Structure 1
């Protein structure tokens, strides 16, 4: 697919996915329980999570549970456009500060490198393709982290209703290891 049709297909998929996304009471707890039962990180893994915003599936219950299990949990800081994300340690009670595009991240702390990521998305398919918000931050970040750690785990999290038949992808779109929804874990 050439650049213009790919961009148009992604824009349409984003509109459809945003319309399908709706908050389910208890979805964050269901997500936590499913990941911890069906796809838990290995002991000692440094977890790169994200702070849910808007009507994204809630990640806080999962982040708190991973912290309680002794994992270092880190949240992304959004750098200037065109750069990969970097991560700062987070724990319950950490001071947060607003970032660009409605994001929040830890107000301070030295950067850490995760080896297990929880990734936001707007749409996904069963091949492990992910449609993000369009900035390319996670694609750049996944490519960078996989260059030094080919076994990096990247689990996309979303509501099951965000699944589409086929995500339009280009050469720079990084695939996911798995996708977790309130209904289960999908492994490509």
Structure 2
């Protein structure tokens, strides 16, 4: 572990991400991930008609332009944003460019759950930003894991949604340098695995 403290590990990773976002290498990495995202969506077109994204905070990669272009190219496609419930689960509501968003208590822009024009959905794919990430092997299968901000919102939500929608795709979004080894961090029993991890080096997928 990182000084026996996941909190200090997160703080270090967030500080590194802030520095990286201001570096000369950032635009190249960002473009590679956005191209990888477009390729992933094209390759999963038959099963992915709705995608949940996020409003970026703390130097997270902004996927919105790429996903808006994807959605506008086909009227059957939908985008959604998460709303954090008081019980630390997430609900996803349809989002369109220009919608009024409200700040959560964590400072994240969220959809208004009382907006009658934007219904709740269970998306086909959820794109999840990573503070850090890791991989583990089980037989001939590789699993990918996300280190988030520590609230557990995504883990609780994915555990519930996967029971109702086994075809759900959960893709982590991050950078190569955020990969953690076992000495730094290991996934816990309550952590939900990712179906794929997208970095500037390409798409790492478990199936």
Q: Which TM bucket (shorter chain)?
A: 0.7 to 0.9
Q: Distance in 2 between matches of 1:145 and 1:151?
A: 10
| Conserved? CA contact 2:53–2:80, under 8 Å | yes
CA RMSD of aligned residues (A): 2.3
SS in 2 for 1:154: strand
| Conserved? CA contact 1:96–1:105, under 8 Å | yes
Q: Which runs of 5+ in 1 are unaligned?
A: none
Q: Which runs of 5+ in 2 are unaligned?
A: 136-142
Q: Distance in 1 between matches of 2:65 and 2:173?
A: 13
Q: Distance in 2 between matches of 1:27 and 1:106?
A: 29
Q: Distance in 2 between matches of 1:73 and 1:135?
A: 24
Give 1:38 deviation, angstroms: 3.9
Q: 1:110 to 1:38 in 2, by over 3 A?
A: closer
Q: 1:87 to 1:177 in 2, by over 3 A?
A: same
Q: Which of residues 119, 122, 129 is equivalent to 1:113?
A: 122
Correspondence list, 1:62-101, <5 A? 62-70=66-74, 71-80=77-86, 82-101=87-106
- Highest Rg: 1 or 2? 2
> TM-score if structure 1 supplies the norm length?
0.85
SS in 2 for 1:47: strand
Name whichever structure is richer in strand by fraction. Answer: 2
> TM-score if structure 2 supplies the norm length?
0.78
Q: Distance in 1 between matches of 2:149 and 2:159?
A: 17
Q: How many residues end up aligned between the 2 structures?
A: 183
**Aligned counterpart, 1:144:** 160
